Amino acid sequence: MSGGLLIAGTTSDAGKSVVTAGICRWLARQGVKVAPFKAQNMSLNSFVTREGAEIGRAQAMQAQAARVEPTALMNPVLLKPGGDRTSQVVLMGRPVGEMSARGFFGTAGSGTGAPGGASPGDRLRGGRQEALLATVLDCLATLRGTYDAVICEGAGSPAEINLRRTDIVNMGVARNAGLPVLVVGDIDRGGVFASFFGTVALLSPEDQALVAGFLVNKFRGDVSLLEPGLDMLHGLTGRRTYGVLPFRHGLGIDEEDGLRVSLRGAVRESAVSAPVGADVLRVAVCAIPLMSNFTDVDALAAEPGVVVRFVDRAEELADADLVVVPGTRGTVEALRWLRERGLADAIARRAAEGRPVLGVCGGYQLLGDHIEDEVESRAGHVDGLGLLPVRVRFAREKTLARPVGTALGEHVEGYEIHHGVAEVTGGETFMSDAAGAGLDGCRVGAVWGTHWHGSLESDGFRRAFLREVAAAAGRRFVPAPDTSFAALREEQLDRLGDLIEEHADTDALWRLIESGAPQGLPFIPPGAPA
């Protein structure tokens, strides 16, 4: 069995995904065969593997950091929120149904799990969320039998004591797989010492025994000023700090949740090159409800002279050269939101004036004539924005694919994740195969729509598309001829590896991965410092 490590966090967004990716890249550069793993992910930001499985984009990014191909084994359980209380459950890359939080974390039924040989879907439908632990541990064991090291990412905080009994992603995995745990804390938020101590103190003795120590994230300033606090933390907990990572802009690529497009941030916050042409291009992305795969616009923002921002008011579209309507897990709800805020009318006026609009996946669907939805929202017949001659019917089976084709005379690749089936009744096909036969999407004038996420990462296609946008917008914008999105992504992953290599105790980290948590770590009773 290979070595392993679980990266937990004091809170959500403490930096677990970034640290996991950084450790994967550091190990890969040392010649270690390493894989990422996250047992359970809650995210609308997902990806399709080559075998057609849907996983969190964070795990796909971590696999890229590890220089391995992502698979469903790396994220066996994916929850895709459809509102405040329900989520679509994706098991081993395939959707198995919608479930409320109470249903997923509840304890209906009796016994300790599903019968031997039951599928993951059967285990879930059997009514016991914790029975999925068997699937999770099977996946982890397979990875550990294949790779030299597996770096696991937790979720939220391991000290969610209300969920500990059914936990399959934090200490539940660590206990069953014998993994040492490193707790990451975001010092930029403040209160990191209290968060470190409190996280450990709320755990049971058995869980505490696996918590080897801490990793400080996003530190600004002189580390020597922090060291007395780290020494005191060691005295209080008996656990060391394995590194202090400095604050760096734009490192949180492919986040699970939230409204951040980090590569855009990295490009904007670094020394941004001036536009090649005389003008910049301004891109407004509608921040629709349940927005999915907001990383689709990262590649636009990577271009010198392209300014990307998220908007939620009609007046913010006034100076935009391109409006992007992104994917969403709630197409009908997004339509209602656009209409309530006046954005629908503003987008329609743009289209009538020949000003560019791009819809991606759910955004493409709502640009059409009408939608028949008896699956996602069960709203029945709903009129779309009527900007593209497209009729959409929601199917129960989800389309999961990695298509390849041509568009605007350029090679383009993408991935599809949608229930909506589009019937195109007019206009021009957007994506075609090598022989010119239509594959996906529609174009009418300066309005484009496609189901293909990630298509703008194809450099030649992106440049051709931006030239079309600039011409329609009347801008003297010229795409940079040598911008490589893949190269920018690799540079960013290397920056994550550099953070670990330069600011963590890598010798101690490797001993932790190889040998597990140190023996004899003390138990910290809750309230002990008082």
Whose CA is closest to 150, among 128, 116, 180?
180
Task: Identify the active-site residue in 286, 361, 442, 503.
Answer: 361
- Report the amino acid identity of residue 385: L
Q: Is residue 181 part of a domain?
A: yes
Distance CA 21, CA 185 (A): 16
| pLDDT tens-digit profile, the chain (530 residues) | 689 999 999 999 899 999 999 999 999 999 999 999 999 999 999 999 999 999 999 999 999 999 999 999 999 999 999 876 788 999 999 999 887 766 665 543 333 333 334 454 444 444 456 679 999 999 999 999 999 999 999 999 999 999 898 899 999 999 999 999 999 999 999 999 999 999 999 999 999 999 999 999 999 999 999 999 999 999 999 999 999 999 987 665 665 554 444 444 333 333 456 788 789 999 999 999 999 998 899 999 999 999 999 999 999 999 999 999 999 999 999 999 999 999 999 999 999 999 999 999 999 999 999 999 888 778 889 999 999 999 999 999 999 999 999 999 999 999 999 999 999 999 999 999 988 899 999 999 999 999 999 999 999 999 999 999 999 999 999 999 999 999 999 999 999 999 999 999 999 999 999 999 999 999 998 876 64
Distance CA 56, CA 528 (A): 39
Q: What is the 3-state secondary structure (H, E, C) of 268-323?
A: HHCCCCCCCCCCCEEEEEECCCCEECHHHHHHHHCCCCEEEEEECCHHHHCCCCEE
**Could you tell me the CATH number of the domain that includes residue 223?**
3.40.50.300
Distance CA 10, CA 158 (A): 7
Q: Are residues 108 and 67 both part of a single domain?
A: yes
**Alpha-carbon dihedral angle through residues 468, 470, 471, 475, given to the nearest 10 degrees:** 180
Q: Are residues 80 and 197 both part of a single domain?
A: yes
Whose CA is closest to 237, among 181, 303, 308?
181
Q: Is residue 222 part of a domain?
A: yes
> For the chain, what is the domain count?
2
Please report the pLDDT score of residue 108 as a whole number.
35
Whether this prediction's pTM lies above 0.85 is answered by yes
Task: Identify the active-site residue in 418, 419, 451, 453.
Answer: 453
Q: Are residues 205 and 318 both part of a single domain?
A: no
Measured at the CA of 33, the angle between CA 27 and CA 38, to 5 degrees, comes to: 80
Tokens of 323: 């409006």
Q: Are residues 89 and 219 both part of a single domain?
A: yes
Q: Are residues 372 and 428 both part of a single domain?
A: yes
Domain coverage including residue 70: 3-251+490-515
Q: Are residues 101 and 14 both part of a single domain?
A: yes
Distance CA 370, CA 387 (A): 10
Tokens of 239: 């656990």
Please report the pLDDT score of residue 128 as a whole number.
56
Tokens of 273: 């090159």
Q: Are residues 191 and 311 both part of a single domain?
A: no
Please report the pLDDT score of residue 413 as a whole number.
97
Residue whose entry in the numeric block shows the structure tokens 């994967």: 24
> Of 459, 479, 499, which one is at a domain's C-terminal end?
479
Q: Is residue 386 part of a domain?
A: yes
Q: Is residue 377 part of a domain?
A: yes
Please report the pLDDT score of residue 84 as a whole number.
66
User: Which residues, including other chains, have CB under 8 Å from residue 6's CB and lie 6 or more apart?
Assistant: 152, 153, 154, 170, 173, 174, 179, 180, 181, 182, 210
Stated as kind and residue range, the H or E segment containing 216 is strand 211-219
Please report the pLDDT score of residue 255 as a whole number.
59
Q: Are residues 35 and 110 both part of a single domain?
A: yes
Q: Are residues 173 and 247 both part of a single domain?
A: yes
> Of 455, 479, 503, which one is at a domain's C-terminal end?
479
Whose CA is closest to 492, among 301, 317, 320, 266?
266
Please report the pLDDT score of residue 184 as a whole number.
98
- Report the amino acid identity of residue 422: A
Distance CA 524, CA 530 (A): 12
Q: Is residue 441 part of a domain?
A: yes
Instruction: State yes or no: is 361 an active-site residue.
Output: yes
**Could you tell me the CATH number of the domain that includes residue 341?**
3.40.50.880
Q: Are residues 431 and 465 both part of a single domain?
A: yes
Q: Are residues 192 and 304 both part of a single domain?
A: no
Q: Is residue 294 part of a domain?
A: yes
How do strand 54-56 and strand 149-153 relate by DSSP bridges? Answer: unpaired
User: Which residues, including other chains, have CB under 8 Å from residue 527's CB and lie 6 or more apart?
Assistant: 201
Distance CA 199, CA 444 (A): 55
Stated as kind and residue range, the H or E segment containing 213 is strand 211-219
Distance CA 43, CA 78 (A): 7
How do strand 211-219 and strand 149-153 relate by DSSP bridges? Answer: unpaired
For 414-431, give the DSSP string.
-BEEEEEEEEE-SSB-SE
**Alpha-carbon dihedral angle through residues 217, 220, 225, 231, given to the nearest 10 degrees:** 0
SS3 (DSSP) at 40: strand
Q: Is residue 122 part of a domain?
A: yes
Q: Are residues 475 and 494 both part of a single domain?
A: no
DSSP at 8: E
Q: Is residue 523 part of a domain?
A: no
Please report the pLDDT score of residue 320 as a whole number.
96
Distance CA 315, CA 283 (A): 14
